[in-house]
Structure 1
Amino acid sequence: MIAVLTSGVALGVHVPGLLLASRLRERGVPAAVEVLERLLPPDRLAAVTASREVFHRDFRVARAGQRIASDPVAAIDAEAREELFRRWEASGVRTMVVFSGFWLDLVRHFTERTGRPLRVILCHVDSVASPSFRKAGAPLPGTEEVWLASRADTALPWTIPVTAEPPLDWGRREPRLLVHGGGWGMGTYRDRAAELASAGHDIDLVVHAAEEADPLRGRTRHFALNPTWHPWLDDGYPPLGRLLPGRSTSDITYTRGSAHHSSFDLSRTAHAMVSKPGGGTLLDSLWAATPLVLLEPSGEHESHNAQLWCDLGFGVRYEDWRADGFSLRPLEKMHRALLSAARGPRDLAAALSGSEVSLCSE
């Protein structure tokens, strides 16, 4: 059994974990997803939800929150911790893939409790260590690390397949831009969507709440995540619905993919994604071969992600693209570069299902 350890505070961490679990199960490997917030008491979980709303409303607060984020594990009571450890023992967990560094203290205690060998793999979705890993301290001896993107090496060493379908040819794509603010809807994306619509671009805009849609703005299509869903409620992909003009928000039908997240289907058909550079967005960009137009990052790790995507020829900063007149020509060149790059990274699911050799030694 492989335990995939994610956190619901960022879909850019959680969704890659869901994708890894899906790819492992397709290969016949048992995999269970654990979301850290499921272990929190109700008051702490309510505080997480409240923080999400604050961060959405004020990007400056969100960026400050990255720097002062505290370890939530201290809030987990003994009973919840004991139940988790019993579940891991009963299911025979032998390998853990850690997507959030805040899990490491629990992993350390579980290892000490059982006294048996446990394979621990840290999976970094960002190109440098994210805040949770930086705050976690030194990993256990023998811990392996894999990077889906590496700023140090200007490379994409590993990947998690989003789909088995090849990227859509540039000529078959809709002349649209997908604009979003990550799972928590943070940053300047709505203002940028308005500017791009005024410049004549067709937009697919993922809003944080249905009430934020502006049905009067050109040929913009609006989408929203189901506001009642949270990553700690189930192991499914985020439910996404389209907001139709003139229809009540209560009429939205939310659907979700069974093999990958629904927003990826929008990125596959777009000429570019306009977004802050989270790790999950980088993964979508690679597998869709869709360039990134990079908005203001949320934290140092996203700044490094943005620079990496520019260095690799996969993205352009919004201000630079604006100075170029929002031309599609450089985007097509980036699409070609992404097509070539997709064959390079090693498949983490294939490696985990194929052998027990150290991932770091290959």
Structure 2
Amino acid sequence: MIAVLTSGVALGVHVPGLLLASRLRERDVPVRVEVLERLLPPDRLAAVSASRDVFHRDFRVARVGQRIASDPVAAISADVQDELVRHWEECGVHTVVVFSGFWLSLVRRFMERTGRAPRVIVCHVDSVASPSFRKAGPALPGTEEIWLASRAGTALPWTIPVTREPPIQWDRREPRLLVHGGGWGMGTYRDRAADLVDAGHDIDLVVHAVEETGPAPGRTRHFVLNPAWHPWLDDGYPPLGHLLPGRSPADVSYTRGRTHHSSFDLARAVRAMVSKPGGGTLLDSLWSATPLVLLEPSGEHEGHNAQLWCDLGFGVRYEDWRSDAFSPRLLEKMHRALLSAAEGPRDLAAALSGSEVSLCSE
């Protein structure tokens, strides 16, 4: 059994974990998804939800909060931790794939209580270590680290396929932009969406509450992430709804993909995504061959992500694209660069299902 260890505080961490689990199940590999927040006491979980709402409303608070965030494992009782150890023992967990550094102390507890050392694979979705890994303390003995994007050495060493469908051809794409603020809807994306509409662009805008939609000028389409859903409620992909013009918000019907997240289908069909550069967004960009128009990052790690995507020719900063009169030819050039890059990274699911040798040695 492989345990995929994610965190619900960021869909850019959680969704890649879900994707890995989906790709492993397609290969008949037994896998389970563990979400860190499911272990928290109710008061701490309520605080996480409240923080999400505050960060969504105020990007400045979000950036400060990310720098000072504490390790949530301190709030998990010893009894709950021991129950997790027993559960992994019963399920025969032999490999853990860690997407959030805060899980490492719980893996260490499993090793100490059972005397067994599972195979530990740390999967970085960002191009440098994200805050949870920087705060996690020393690495566990024998840990294998892999990177989906990297500022050092090979730029795209590994990947997790989002879909087996090829990217949509450029001339078949709608002349639209997908604008979003990542899993928690953070950043300057709503202001930039208004600017883009004023400049004559048709956009798909992902919001996090139906009250945020407002009027829909031009051909703006509003998509809503179900605000009642949290990653720790189930192992499904985020529910997404389309708010149709002239319809009541109560009429929104939320659906979700069974093999990948629904917002990826929006990304495949447009000319560019306009977003802050989270690790999950980089993965979407690669597999959809959809360029990124980069908004202000939420932390140092996202700043490195943005620079990497620009260096590779896969993205452009919003200000630079605007200075270039929102050039469509630049977007097509980046699309071509992404198409040529998709075959380079190694498939993590394929490696886990077919080999027990060290990933770092290959």
Q: Please give the range of the TM-score, normalised by the shorter of the 2 chains.
A: over 0.9
Secondary structure of 2:326 counterpart: coil
- Structure 2: tracts of 5 or more residues without a match: none
What is the CA–CA distance in structure 2 between the aligned matches of 1:171 and 1:79, rounded to whole Å?
A: 57
Distance of 2:315 and 2:64 partners within structure 1: 26
Look up the SS of the partner of 2:233 in the other structure.
Answer: coil
CA distance in 2, matches of 1:154, 1:59: 32
Instruction: Give the CA deviation at 1:218.
Output: 1.6
- How far apart in 1 are the matches of 2:173 and 2:245? 24
> Matches of 1:196 and 1:287 in 2, distance apart?
25
For 1:207 and 1:3, how far apart are their aligned partners in 2? 31
Distance in 1 separating the partners of 2:117 and 2:209: 45
Trace 1:197-216 onto structure 2 (pairs within 5 A): 197-216=197-216
CA drift at 1:154: 5.6
TM-score under structure 2 normalisation? 0.99
For the residues of structure 2 that align with 1:12 and 1:100, how far apart are their CA atoms? 11
Corresponding residue number in structure 1 for 2:171: 171
User: Aligned ranges for residues 163-312 of structure 1 at < 5 Å?
Assistant: 163-312=163-312
**Could you list the per-position Cα deviations for residues 207-257 of structure 1 after superposition, in whole angstroms to 9, with x for gaps in the alignment?**
111110023322100001111100000000000000112211111000000
Q: Aligned runs of 1:139-158 on 2, under 5 Å?
A: 139-153=139-153, 155-158=155-158
SS of equivalent to 1:237: coil
Matches within 5 A, 1:20-169: 20-153=20-153, 155-169=155-169
Equivalent in the alignment of 1:333? 333
Q: Deviations over 1:36-56 (max 9, x none)?
A: 000000000000000001001
Corresponding residue for residue 347 of structure 2: 347
Distance 2:186 2:208 in 1: 8
Q: Distance in 1 between matches of 2:171 and 2:219?
A: 20
Unaligned residue ranges in structure 1 (runs of 5+)? none
Tell me the alpha carbon deviations over residues 125-151 of structure 1, each in whole angstroms, 9 at most, x when there is no partner: 000000000000111111000000001
Secondary structure at the aligned position of 2:353 is classed as helix
> For residues 290-315 of structure 1, what are the alpha-carbon distances to aligned partners after superposition, in whole Å with 9 as ceiling and x for unaligned?
00000000000000000000000000
Once residues 70 and 249 of structure 1 are traced to their aligned partners in structure 2, the CA distance between those partners, rounded to angstroms, is 36
Equivalents in 2 of 1:307, 1:108: separation in Å?
Answer: 34
Q: Distance in 2 between matches of 1:216 and 1:135?
A: 43
SS in 2 for 1:112: helix
Residues 298-342 of structure 1: CA distance to partner in whole angstroms, max 9, x if unpaired? 000000000000000000000000000111110000000000000
RMSD of the alignment, in Å?
Answer: 0.7
Question: Which amino acid in structure 1 is aligned with residue 137 of structure 2?
Answer: G
Secondary structure of the structure 1 residue equivalent to 2:121: strand
Cα distance in 2 for residues equivalent to 1:285 and 1:154:
18
Q: Partners in 2 of 1:137 and 1:70 — Cα distance? A: 12
Question: What is the DSSP-based 3-state SS (H/G/I as helix, E as strand, rest coil) of the residue aligned with 1:343?
Answer: coil
Q: Deviations over 1:333-360 (max 9, x none)?
A: 0000000000000000000000100000
Distance in 2, Cα, partners of 1:36 & 1:216: 38
One-letter amino acid of the structure 2 residue matched with residue 160 of structure 1:
I
1:122/1:145 contact within 8 Å kept: yes
- Aligned amino acid, residue 279 of structure 1: G
Alpha-carbon shift at residue 83 of structure 1 (Å): 1.6
Return the letter of the residue paired with 2:200.
G
Task: Report percent identity of matched pairs.
Answer: 84
Contact 1:154-1:308 within 8 A present in 2 as well: no
CA distance in 1 between counterparts of 2:290 and 2:339 reads 9
Write the distance in 1 (CA, Å) between the matches of 2:115 and 2:49.
Answer: 36
Amino acid at match of 2:61: V
Instruction: Report the Cα distance in structure 1 between the residues aligned to 2:272 and 2:231, rounded to whole angstroms.
Output: 26
The separation in 2 between residues aligned to 1:261 and 1:153, in whole angstroms, is 30
- Secondary structure class of the residue paired with 1:60: helix
Of residues 78-87 and 222-231 in structure 1, the stretch that sits farther from structure 2 once superposed is 78-87
Task: Tell me, in whole angstroms, the C-alpha distance in 2 between the residues paired with 1:151 and 1:217.
Answer: 40
Residue aligned with 1:5, SS: strand
Q: Which amino acid aligns with 2:150?
A: S
* Number of matched pairs: 362
Instruction: Give, in whole Å, the separation in 2 of the partners of 1:200 and 1:60.
Output: 29
C-alpha distance in 2 between matches for 1:197 and 1:329:
19
- Is the partner of 1:32 in helix, strand or coil? strand
SS of aligned partner of 2:268: helix
| Cα distance in 1 between the residues matched to 2:265 and 2:258 | 12
- Give runs of ≥4 in structure 1 deviating > 4 Å: none
Counterparts of 1:154 and 1:267 in 2: how far apart (Å)? 25
Structure 1 residue 94: Cα displacement: 0.1
